[in-house]
């Protein structure tokens, strides 16, 4: 059985959920990187969709935000790391961390709903009409992006567990 890094008192399911978040974000990032570097994942009508800096920045930002979920089950989610200027060694406010996590989860849920609507309706800047894809490429796109639907519920569950543990 794999040992997950988590603080004592963190429920195992919360540690598993926190560690799953970066993994559910990874496939979409890999798809974007493949698109950026010219892999045949789609043919782009709008060249700005394949811009390297945007796609790379979005991928890095998404993974960094996903990794923040681990702070809800690890020591650096309770005490700021000493290497941080001004905050190092100080306790992390449980209310603030919980609020930030739940606000992020709410934002992710709203973005997910918007994106599903855009894809379903075939409208907007993120619509499949901007991409020409074969059936295989479309399946690959959905397989890579579908795990993102789990990000908001996983983050919500871990944030609630964090709040319960820190408030007790």
Which range, of 14-23, 80-89, 159-168, averages the lowest pLDDT?
Answer: 80-89
20-49 pLDDT, tens digit per residue, is 999 999 999 999 898 888 888 877 655 655
DSSP 7-55: -TT--HHHHHHHHHHHHHHHHHHHHHHHHHTT-TT-EESSGGGG-HHHH
Question: Looking at residue 39, what is its pLDDT?
Answer: 85
Q: What angle do CA 124, 130, 132 make, to 5 degrees?
A: 145
Contact 80, 9 (CB under 8 A): no
Contact 140, 128 (CB under 8 A): no
Residue in 68, 59, 54 with CA at minimum distance from that of residue 25: 59
Average pLDDT over residues 91-100: 94
Rounded distance between C-alpha atoms, residue 18 and residue 44, angstroms = 34
Question: pLDDT band at 89, cuts 50/70/90?
Answer: confident
Rounded distance between C-alpha atoms, residue 19 and residue 92, angstroms = 20
Question: pLDDT band at 8, cuts 50/70/90?
Answer: confident
Locate the domains of the chain by residue range: 12-167
């Amino acid at each position: 059985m794999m040992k997950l890094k988590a603080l004592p008192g963190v429920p195992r399911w919360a540690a598993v959920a926190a560690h799953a978040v970066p993994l559910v974000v990874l496939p979409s990032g890999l798809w974007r990187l493949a698109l950026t570097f010219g892999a045949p994942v789609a043919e782009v009508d709008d060249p700005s969709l394949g811009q390297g800096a945007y796609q790379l920045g979005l991928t890095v930002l998404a993974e960094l935000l996903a990794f923040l979920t681990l702070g809800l089950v690890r020591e650096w989610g309770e005490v700021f790391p000493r290497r941080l200027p001004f905050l190092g060694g100080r306790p992390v406010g449980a209310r603030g961390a919980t609020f930030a996590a739940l606000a992020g989860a709410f934002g992710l849920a709203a973005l997910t709903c918007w994106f599903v609507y855009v894809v379903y309706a075939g409208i907007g800047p993120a619509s499949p009409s901007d991409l020409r894809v074969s059936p295989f490429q479309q399946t690959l796109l959905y397989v890579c992006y579908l795990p993102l639907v789990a990000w908001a519920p996983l983050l919500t569950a871990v944030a609630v567990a964090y709040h319960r543990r820190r408030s007790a």
